[in-house]
Chains A and B, each alone.
Chain A
Amino acid sequence: MKALIEEFEKVLGKDNVFQDEADLATYSYDAAVLDPVLPSLVLRPTSSEALGKVVGMCNEHALPLTVRGAGTNLSGGTIPKSGGVVLLTNALNRILEINEEDLYAVVEPGVVTAKFAAAVEAKGLFYPPDPGSQAVSTLGGNVAENAGGLRGLRYGVTRDYVMGLEFFDANGELVKAGARTVKCVTGYNLGGIMVGSEGTLGVFDKIILKLIPMPPARKAMMAIFNDINKASETVSAIIANRIVPVTLEFMDNFTIRAVEDFSHAGLPVEAAALLLIEVDGHPVQVEEDAEKVESLCRRLGAMSIRVARDATERDKVWEARRAALSALSRIKPTTVLEDATVPRSRVPAMIRSIEGIAREFNLTIGTFGHAGDGNLHPTILTDRRNHQEWERVEKAIESIFDRALSLGGTLSGEHGIGMAKSRFMEKETSRATIVYSRRIKAALDPKNILNPGKIIGD
């Protein structure tokens, strides 16, 4: 090992090889509620050449390797294998190109999502995926997890913006997928399998992202309901009327109360549900859509509606949504944020199920999330140190998965499978799916060094 460390130091420089126990401990966790695991080494390449080299060296020495951007993963995808290597991308953080003629950008994997979005916006362009952690999350991590966000309903998720990828395979050889063109059918769609592969099939070196023009206008409103079903019918009605809002967010009564306690924004604490709706596009169309949405909300039984007339009021509408996770997480020490997703029409059934599960296991669960795309965030508030309660939490999580699957949904809408959900994979798919995936993994990574144990287990 000592000789190998010296080799790494030669490639990366001494400052970019961390081996003190105290440094290693700071790369042993991510944002998932899981036990930390100490790596044996943390490496920080500062060039793509060095990145490829260290991947090859890890393979040569059969060292398990976990790539880490900002470590905001909610399913344990960035928790290393014990004794393995953590590979940091935060020194590979250059935006290499923003092409305004052909509407694409080329970035290194360590670019922070919000910084990229701001750089793109400064040129009047738009990169829509906006995961909750965008202020710190990296684009490499977003692609590896196929991250979503609030704008999924109208603009899709990270997958919809990946035009091409260059990545190192397990041997440290550079593989190219996709192109800078809108159309490209050259070879296998390797980008397709890499997006959402959670670092198990390759290490990203460069990412080509699609950009779109910034919509010139937008309008936000808040609709308050005394019945969850009415809120949900409204969601369906908006879409049935061929209006696709940018965001269509939901908050349940518990979350409304928590937010009101926390930020005193004047929310109606008796309301059963809140919908936060924003439409965007051409100014004339925005006005028309906003009016239609407003009248639909009224017709379907909204108790009251607040339409934001300017940017300040718009901020106020979104303040409530932004405060949701903060407000909930302050209630108890441990916050378990789930993302089981169901077809949009099954949202009311899913919400009722979650309420039932909270009662059955005697737990506190607040639910908010992306009602427009069926991606809810049941948030379990607990204290992990209370072992009895924690057992109930684990059972409740399993029940939430079971329920989402029985409603035709999926285990994870946007947080990934990682370690937290890998044992449930077969429930949603099939034994054959796992075996098939493992064969792909074994063929591409015979020594199983690339983020082993994630998604498909060991």
Chain B
Amino acid sequence: MADMKQLARLIKELEDQLVVCMRCGMCQAVCPLYAETGREADVARGKLALLEGLVQEMFKDPKGVNERLMRCLLCGSCSANCPSGVKVLDIFIRARAILTGYMGLHPLKKAVFRGMLARPQFFDRLMEWASRLQGIFVKPVDDLLGASCGRLLTPLGERHIKALAAPPFHMRVKPGSTSPRAAGLRVAFFVGCLIDKVFPNVGEAVMRTMEHHGVGVFLPEDFACCGIPALSSGDAAAFDKLVHYNLQRFAAEPFDFLITACATCTSTIKKLWPLMAWKLSLEAQEQVSAIAAKTMDVSQFLVDKVGVRQADTKSGDQKVLLTYHDPCHLKKSLGVASQPRTLLQANSRYRFKEMIEADWCCGMGGSFNLQHYGISASIGKRKRDNIVQSECETVATSCPACMLQMTDMLSQAGDRVQVKHAIEIYAESLP
């Protein structure tokens, strides 16, 4: 529903957020993309300046801006390091929705919209206007966005099928729900696309761990994608549909926490669902904020709520060296970094060792990897080099997308390093 009223509202909110950037340029120090290319348009400051230039009509090239806006991993390193606290990801997500919506607009409507941008003081009146025009324009825009949704999701699917060797998680584990026992807690498990289709063993490790700790699990019959691939491509309409679908599934039964083993799903549900919820019904908005508040990464749940602790280690044991890669969406977006490390050190078979730049992005960035494989791979190579330099035999992480990227990079270089999810390492220690 990228109608004019919504675009106008998004732009207005965007303006207030854009002005927070003081152009200090500190984001250059942490942007994994800028480190490879050295181009200002690749770093947050450059993109924010472009968006502001567009809103202020300093130049008129929405297509050029959109192309540059899409060259971003959405890793949030800039945001986490920003002295003035610019909400870079919120801005980029909104801007992608605006530009995709805008470029899908009929030329006549574009003209009206441009007029709005140039004269913000008429915004409110034009928004009333737009609401009247809505009926005329909404339909074609919807059709267009619907099409882009299909176009978008297919290549992701194709790519992952290649990696798929076994039946997906949803065919291995029956949906349903179990009651809480020892822990007195019940979680809803949001499996996510990659764990379902590529890493079903990670999903199984989650189930086994919950069973071991006597945590009740609610696994809905079917679930949709968390919506990030659609939203990061600016397809807010497809995103809304996916959120709606998921809300219905998870409304079926009560639970204390919603857990995922995917850093990206966790941060999407926790941060982006609420960010984009303003156009949903009041009831749905409440549902979204309730779910977002209960959502957490599986390691955070196990350490903070169940009380898993590091194992007592005896020195001199024959141990497998293990390191950890911080997924951006877990550490930079949600500040979760110590819990997965605790979880890893709960398995006494391994000896934990930090690699350098453990929180430097792996370069995956979801669809970024599909569109800019060359740059994605050179960022990934830096990660690979750091893993190899740590001399560890296993690298763990908390995000299946990072697992894909690290597997790709390590196997291309012929390194004999295993890539595992933190929950797999922990589950190995269970009787």
Interface residues of A (CB under 8 A from B): 18, 20-23, 25-31, 33, 36, 38, 44, 70-72, 88, 90-91, 112, 114, 133, 135-136, 325-326, 329-330, 333-335, 383-385
Contact = CB atoms under 8 A, between A and B. Distances in A.
Contact of A334 (B19, B26, B61, B64): B19
11 contacts: A20-B64, A21-B61, A22-B50, A22-B67, A25-B50, A25-B58, A26-B50, A31-B22, A38-B59, A70-B28, A114-B29
A326 B25 contact: no
Interface of B: 19-20, 22-26, 28-29, 38-41, 46, 49-50, 53, 58-59, 61, 64-65, 67-68, 83-85
Contacts of A23: 39-41, 68
B14 to A, nearest CB: 13
A30 B64 CA distance: 21
A90 B38 contact: yes
A29 B49 contact: yes
A149 B24 CA distance: 16
A61 B22 CA distance: 34
Contacts of A44: 38
Identify the 6 closest CB pairs spanning chains A and B, nearest first.
A22-B64, A26-B46, A26-B40, A135-B29, A329-B84, A326-B83
B19 A383 contact: yes
A21 B40 contact: no
Given A22-B59, A25-B53, A329-B83, A335 B22 contact: yes
B22 A329 contact: yes
Nearest to B66: A22
Contact of A135 (B19, B26, B58, B84): B26
A221 to B, nearest CB: 25
Contacts of B65: 22
A71 B84 CA distance: 17
B41 to A, nearest CB: 5
A384 B16 CA distance: 12
Given A23-B41, A133-B26, A333 B59 contact: no
Contacts of B59: 21-22, 25, 38
A26 B38 CA distance: 12
Given A26-B49, A26-B50, A31 B25 contact: yes
A385 B19 contact: yes
A329 B61 CA distance: 31
Q: Count chain B CB atoms within 10 A of each CB in A25, A30, A71, A383 and give the residue with the most.
A: A25
B29 A326 contact: no
A25 B29 contact: no
Contacts of B20: 333
Contacts of B26: 133, 135-136
Contacts of A18: 39
A330 B23 CA distance: 14
B25 A70 contact: yes
A contacts with B: majority SS: loop
Contacts of A36: 49, 53, 58
Contacts of B85: 326, 330
Given A23-B41, A330-B85, 6 more contacts: A18-B39, A20-B64, A25-B59, A26-B40, A31-B25, A136-B25
B129 to A, nearest CB: 24
Contacts of B50: 22, 25-26
A385 B53 CA distance: 15
Contacts of B29: 112, 114, 135-136
Contacts of B22: 31, 33, 329, 334-335
A21 B38 contact: no
Contacts of A383: 19
B25 A27 contact: no
A26 B83 contact: no
Given A26-B49, A326-B84, A326-B85, A333 B25 contact: no
A326 B26 CA distance: 11
A334 B52 CA distance: 14
A71 B25 contact: yes
Given A38-B59, A133-B25, A326-B85, A22 B41 contact: yes
Nearest to B21: A333
Contacts of A325: 83
Nearest to B25: A72
Given A38-B59, A335-B22, A26 B41 contact: yes
A437 B10 CA distance: 50
Contacts of A385: 19
Nearest to A385: B19
B23 A28 contact: no
B40 A71 contact: yes
Nearest to B29: A135
A272 B76 CA distance: 37
A13 B322 CA distance: 44
B137 to A, nearest CB: 27
Contacts of B68: 22-23
A12 B348 CA distance: 56
A136 B28 contact: yes
Contacts of A91: 38
A129 to B, nearest CB: 17
A160 B20 CA distance: 36
Contacts of B40: 23, 26-27, 71
B103 to A, nearest CB: 14
A71 B46 CA distance: 11
B61 A31 contact: no
A329 B40 CA distance: 23
Contacts of B25: 30-31, 70-72, 133, 136
A246 B40 CA distance: 35
Contacts of A114: 29
A389 to B, nearest CB: 14
Contacts of B19: 333-334, 383-385
B281 to A, nearest CB: 33
A282 B26 CA distance: 34
A66 to B, nearest CB: 14
Nearest to B56: A36
Contacts of B24: 31, 72, 133
B64 A21 contact: yes
A333 B48 CA distance: 14
Contacts of B84: 326, 329-330, 335
A455 to B, nearest CB: 21
Contacts of B46: 26
Contacts of B83: 325-326, 329
Nearest to A383: B19
B181 to A, nearest CB: 39
A393 to B, nearest CB: 14
Nearest to A24: B59
B66 to A, nearest CB: 9
A28 B61 contact: no
A19 B72 CA distance: 21
A23 B49 CA distance: 11
Nearest to B46: A26
A18 B68 CA distance: 14
A70 B40 CA distance: 9
Contacts of A334: 19, 22
Contacts of B58: 25, 28, 36, 38
A29 B41 contact: no
A231 B424 CA distance: 57
Nearest to A115: B29
